Amino acid sequence: MSQLEHTVAAEQAGLRIDKLLSDIQEDVSRSQAQSWIKDDLVTVNGTKVKNKYTVQEGDVIAWTIPEPEEMKIEAEDIPLEIIYEDADIAVVNKPRGMVVHPSNGHQSGTMVHALLYHLKDLSGINGTMRPGIVHRIDKDTSGLLVVAKHDKAHQKLTDMLKDHDIERKYRAIVHGVIDHEFGTIEAPIGRDPNDRQKMAVVENGKPAVTHFEVLERFEDFTYVECKLETGRTHQIRVHMQYIGYPLAGDPKYGPRRTLDIDGQALHAAVLGFHHPITGEWLHFEAPVPQVFQEELDKLQFNA
């Protein structure tokens, strides 16, 4: 079993304990957090609590994650937007709110469950829990992912990711007004030494590079396009917070609910790469989801 601890920050005060746990540990659903609380696996300041407990600034939350149960992943008839498919790969436009692959907190309803229903074959390099998954994006990040149908394609795509040969561009709404048109953030990312559920810019982290371009400015926000050179966990979210422009709606790295959007305003809009088998250059674009566009429209209307 794994034991974790978190100290409640000022902006997290007032949340229910189950909501907090699901916010700070993205692969855990609120129902899973409630189950842990019911099983006495969660304490606040050393005392067991109920699901309805409202956390206060400075509370020390400690919880024990039970060993994951062996899961048999079955195909589920879940709608999935597959924008490209051939014998070797598929490209999917993942919706907001969908977890990419199963975990102890998400045993159904993931993109993998949907892929098993819609696609005949998936690569097995990443094991039974992550068939076909070459790279991932966070639950509340929407957008484009490439999926491998067999191991040869998977390995080639993995090599391209390592060599930075896959074009990945994201659209994001960030807090604050960025006064320059372009920028590059080169800062290493690793586990936050003060909160193991978060990533941070740390001296001994892995190299990480994000390029950004301003698309539009508003009174208190900026609409940007971010291009990944590397692909660290939460890279855009961490890097934009690091330079003082955290993503709007981000429950982990930004102020709470400043726009009417549940989760970070981040969308994987562009994906380009050479086909792992034929070598043909493929380029895909996906518009931001409706809830993202609605917030963008409001900002443009009030500008």
Of the candidates 88, 138, 140, 250, the residue annotated as catalytic is: 138
Block residue for tokens 């996906």: 286
Does residue 163 have an active-site annotation?
no
17, 51 Cβ separation under 8 angstroms: yes
Given a contact cutoff of 8 angstroms between Cβ atoms, the answer to whether 190 and 206 are in contact is: yes
Residues 6+ apart with CB under 8 A from 86: none
Q: Which residue has the tokens 């490439």?
A: 146
Q: Are 237 and 266 in contact (CB under 8 A)?
A: yes
Per the DSSP assignment, residues forming a β-bridge with 201 are: 189
Catalytic residues: 138
